[in-house]
Structure 1
Amino acid sequence: MAPYQIRQYQERDHKQVVDLFSRGMMEHIPATFRYVLLLPKTLLLLFAVPLTIVLVSGSWLLAVMCIFFLLLLLRLLAGKPFKEYVALCLQTDMADITKSYLNAHGSFWVAESGGQVVGTVGALPVKDPPLGRKQMQLFHLSTSSQHRGQGIAKALVRTVLQFARDQGYSDVVLETSIIQQSAIALYEAMGFQRTGKYLESGIVKWLLEFSIIRFMYSFPSTQEHAL
């Protein structure tokens, strides 16, 4: 028997869901920092600015201090997209999950283990889908760091796929950042196809090259699809 169960969200889950969501987003900051450090323009910046300081002032100490402050600045910038996203969600859909999902022709599920919420996922109809398509969008897939490797994320995605298929949707779509490599691998392994990629607006996100990848899972129209 699985050490967890997936059920629909209840109001008593709100604090645990918000805490899990917020912690999950913050976990991506170190990976973002590493990603930014390997960007060509970052490497150029970390080389050119200290070198210029040495050539102008002749001070290696000043150059080392410059590198330190540049790294500190990049670390702070790496956390900005996720902190902004969490703040936005806590003021919008995550403020009232029942209203935003369950009462809006969508749904929200939690994975529960030992009386604790260890996973979440939500789904909402896409307001303006492509002509001839009926699409459901997946939101906020997250699992507790202590409960990963148990198939919880895959089970939550399957729950969304089953819900969408039962409701007669043609596709399930989602978006995730290029930083979230484990999520990308999961979606691709489950049959989602990349449909596009875009760079988020804002100077910081442009500097970080913080791109978003779109995925879609399409249900066969002429045959039963076993999930």
Structure 2
Amino acid sequence: MASIQIRKYRDDDSEAVKEIFTLGMSEHVPSSFMHLLKQPVTQMVLMCTFCALMTSSKSFLLPILAVTLLLAAARQFVVYMFSRYIDTSLRKDLNNIGETYLKQKDSCFWVAESEGRVVGTVACLPSERAPECLELKRMSVRRSHRGMGIAKALCRTVADFTRDRGYAAVVLYTSVVQTDAQKLYEHMGYEKIREFVVPELVAKIINFTLFEYKLYLQRDEKRD
């Protein structure tokens, strides 16, 4: 950690931040695809397609080909959903980080820098759902620099910022497929307080669950 510096975002960090975010989100495509395959509705569609074609065509090759095409289409769907989320984020808050995080009250954006290169990011801003909390956002570390304690340092930076401004807790949201993130947050003292399915119809069908975590900075705060 001696060579790692946590500092506030500067405008010339923009491209590096966008790259780290894009690469980090793209890493979740394989695990999201596997999550999709484990859902009963997916397995039912694949099985029904296979059995129907096997019965009607009397051929083994046709149903295998059909299932293969369905799997390929499912993976492309997952890629599309992540690409849409990435593009939306790049057009919104990540398009003008200074305006979104540095000029707003009780908001900030930090980068982790190693040997002059941005290798990690994190941000926070007041939570829309919990006025007494700041929300941790945009946590990501380059794959080449993981396991060095950078994510933990970024978490502590947000916690210290939140505590200094008199907020009771830090809240964040992560998904069912982000298992490494869940382990990190739980190790840092965050408690899982809620699970819910993304409200979009497709997310409901594939049971894409989000987890809400909370880090209590005042231990006498009443648990929700």
Q: Any conservation in 1 of the 2:37–2:43 contact (CA below 8 Å)?
A: yes
Q: Any conservation in 2 of the 1:108–1:121 contact (CA below 8 Å)?
A: yes
Hey, what's the Cα distance between the residues in 1 that align with 2:55 and 2:30?
A: 32
In structure 2, what is the equivalent of residue 29 of structure 1? 29
Q: Any conservation in 2 of the 1:78–1:208 contact (CA below 8 Å)?
A: no
Stretches of structure 2 that go unaligned for 5 or more consecutive residues are none
**Mapping 1:77-226, distance limit 5 Å:** 77-105=77-105, 106-127=107-128, 129=130, 134-220=132-218
Question: What one-letter code is carried by the residue in structure 1 that aligns with 2:5?
Answer: Q
Q: Any conservation in 2 of the 1:101–1:122 contact (CA below 8 Å)?
A: yes
Deviations 1:22-55 (A, max 9, x none): 1110110011111212222222222221111111
Count of residues in Structure 1 that have an aligned counterpart in Structure 2: 220
Query: What secondary structure is seen at the aligned counterpart in 2 of 1:94?
Result: helix
Query: What secondary structure is seen at the aligned counterpart in 2 of 1:213?
Result: strand
State the superposition RMSD in angstroms: 1.6
Q: Any conservation in 2 of the 1:77–1:204 contact (CA below 8 Å)?
A: no
Deviates more, 1:175-184 or 1:120-129: 120-129
How far apart are residue 204 of structure 1 and its match? 2.7
Query: What secondary structure is seen at the aligned counterpart in 2 of 1:111?
Result: strand
How far apart are residue 150 of structure 1 and its match? 0.5
Stretches of structure 1 that go unaligned for 5 or more consecutive residues are none
1:19 aligns with 2:30: no
Question: What one-letter code is carried by the residue in structure 1 that aligns with 2:84?
Answer: E
In structure 1, what is the equivalent of residue 53 of structure 2? 53
Query: What secondary structure is seen at the aligned counterpart in 1 of 2:174?
Result: strand
Hey, what's the Cα distance between the residues in 2 that align with 1:129 and 1:148?
A: 31
TM normalised by structure 1 equals 0.92
Query: What secondary structure is seen at the aligned counterpart in 2 of 1:112?
Result: strand
**Mapping 1:55-70, distance limit 5 Å:** 55-70=55-70
Return structure 1 stretches of 4+ with deviation > 4 angstroms.
none
Deviations 1:107-162 (A, max 9, x none): 000001121111000000124526xxx21000010000111111111110110000
